[in-house]
């Protein structure tokens, strides 16, 4: 079995602090991950989160010199070394699909967010990774209103990047349960609007089955109503729907299972009817 796979996102595989390689099912190949939250701190606690020892908090102060050193080291290994052989990556996946800022918490909580985005973009461009590969920010979108975040998003846009904006529920009750967030739809819509007018933005929805209840009708109806509002208020066109691929490390894990593909695809068809492009992945 490959040391890297869609079900193995071990961020310690290379022993680095900020940079890690994964095979991403959403990207469809090798993704160079960037972790601004090595302290496992996040301002949300999603019930499906695979981060062990997750705690409430923000990204710590970043060592930009170490980030640069690690990113250059890993990219050189992938581009010029025997990385693919050592990691037993299948031939069809031996291409850098993206550099994705995700990690073990909410990346936009980083104080030097804009500086870090600029550093990553410049290195990837210098080494020839950009513009052939994508530059992606995976975020819960809750901190888009911060000036340093918007400055970073403008830089991300300048490098041809895109935002993957998490939206796992469109009801207050669902968001409180799934994400442990008190954010209301009004705030989500405001941040989505801000993000999408700065940088290419797509919505990603993780559907999980809790206690074999399936996809609740209240959640389905809430999504369709809110997505109708989003379609009218923003230029967003793309939605990705996915489900569990790796075990959760949260207390609810024992009650979580993957949402059946047929349910997700049926939901995807309803979203397509609203005018969105929808990608459904297992």
Please, what are the domains in the chain?
19-204 (3.20.20.70)
**Prior bond to 211 cis, omega within 30?**
no
Cα 218 to Cα 169, 173, 209, 223, 260: the distances in Å are 10, 10, 14, 9, 18
pLDDT at 92: 85
pLDDT confidence bin for 213, thresholds 50/70/90? very high
227-280 confidence digits (pLDDT tens): 999 999 999 999 999 999 889 999 998 999 999 999 999 999 999 999 999 999
pLDDT at 167: 97
Position 222 pLDDT exceeds 90: yes
Looking at the DSSP assignment, which residues form a beta bridge with residue 98?
31, 134
What's the pTM?
Answer: 0.91
83-131 confidence digits (pLDDT tens): 999 988 888 888 999 999 998 999 999 999 999 999 999 999 999 999 9
Position 211 pLDDT exceeds 50: yes
pLDDT at 84: 92
pLDDT at 212: 92
Closest CA relative to residue 136, chosen from 268, 30, 245? 30
Closest CA relative to residue 93, chosen from 101, 84, 102? 84
145-203 confidence digits (pLDDT tens): 999 999 999 999 999 999 999 999 999 999 999 999 999 999 999 999 999 999 999 99
pLDDT confidence bin for 26, thresholds 50/70/90? low
pLDDT confidence bin for 5, thresholds 50/70/90? low
CA 245 remoteness from chain centre = 14
- Our CA angle for 154, 117, 126, nearest 5°, is 105
Q: Which helix (H) or strand (E) holds 137?
A: strand 134-139
Plot region of 15 (φ>0 → left; ψ -120 to 50 → alpha; else → beta):
left
pLDDT at 9: 45
Give the rounded percent of residues in the chain with a pLDDT score beyond 70: 94
pLDDT confidence bin for 3, thresholds 50/70/90? low
Position 38 pLDDT exceeds 50: yes
pLDDT at 10: 47
pLDDT at 15: 85
């Amino acid at each position: 079995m490959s040391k890297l796979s869609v079900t193995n996102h071990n961020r310690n595989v290379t022993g680095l602090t900020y940079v890690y390689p994964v095979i991403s099912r959403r990207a469809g190949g090798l993704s160079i991950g960037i972790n601004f939250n090595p302290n496992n701190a996040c301002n949300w606690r999603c019930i499906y989160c695979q981060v062990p020892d997750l705690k409430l908090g923000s990204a710590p102060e970043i060592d930009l010199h170490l980030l640069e050193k690690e990113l250059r080291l890993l990219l050189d290994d992938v581009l010029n070394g025997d990385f693919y052989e050592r990691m037993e990556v299948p031939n069809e996946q031996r291409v850098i699909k993206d550099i994705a800022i995700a990690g073990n918490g909410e990346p936009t909580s980083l104080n030097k967010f804009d500086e870090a985005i600029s550093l990553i973009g410049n290195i990837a461009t210098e080494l020839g990774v950009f513009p052939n590969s994508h530059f992606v920010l995976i975020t819960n979108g809750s901190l888009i209103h911060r000036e340093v975040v918007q400055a970073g998003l403008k830089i991300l846009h300048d490098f041809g990047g895109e935002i993957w904006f998490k939206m796992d529920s469109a009801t207050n009750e669902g968001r409180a349960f799934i994400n442990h967030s008190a954010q209301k739809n009004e705030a989500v819509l405001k941040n989505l609007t801000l993000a999408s007018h700065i940088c290419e933005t797509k919505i990603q929805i993780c559907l999980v089955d809790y206690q074999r209840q399936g996809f609740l009708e209240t959640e389905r109806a809430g999504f369709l109503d809110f997505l109708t509002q989003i379609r009218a208020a923003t230029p967003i066109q793309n939605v990705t729907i996915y489900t569990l691929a790796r075990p959760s490390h949260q207390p609810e894990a024992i009650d979580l299972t993957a949402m059946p593909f047929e349910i997700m695809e049926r939901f995807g068809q309803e979203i397509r009817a609203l005018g969105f492009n929808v990608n459904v992945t297992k």
